[in-house]
Amino acid sequence: MVGSSFETCPGIKKFVRPVPEDFTCPNCGGEVEIWSDEDVGTCDTCNKELGRSEKEQSCLDWCEYADKCSEIIKQMKQ
């Protein structure tokens, strides 16, 4: 299993160690939590699903080693 000593670029940090981000629901004004490794979240108040307005670019979109990093991310989520 991949541990905390793996060697990789810092660009995948948000995927390996995701953090929550808070958004306001446009439907009811409630709170929607979307983790940094996710594209959608659900409103705590009205249960409406909210996606990010724009997909954030990451090194996984262009780096020649993206496949290797994607495998690390997959292993960390298991």
- pLDDT tens digits, the chain, 78 residues: what are they? 344 444 567 677 777 778 899 999 999 999 999 988 888 999 999 999 999 877 667 777 788 888 888 888 777 766
Specify the pTM.
Answer: 0.61
6 closest CA partner among 60, 64, 69: 69
pLDDT score of 1: 37
Closest CA to 24 of 7, 5, 9, 43: 43
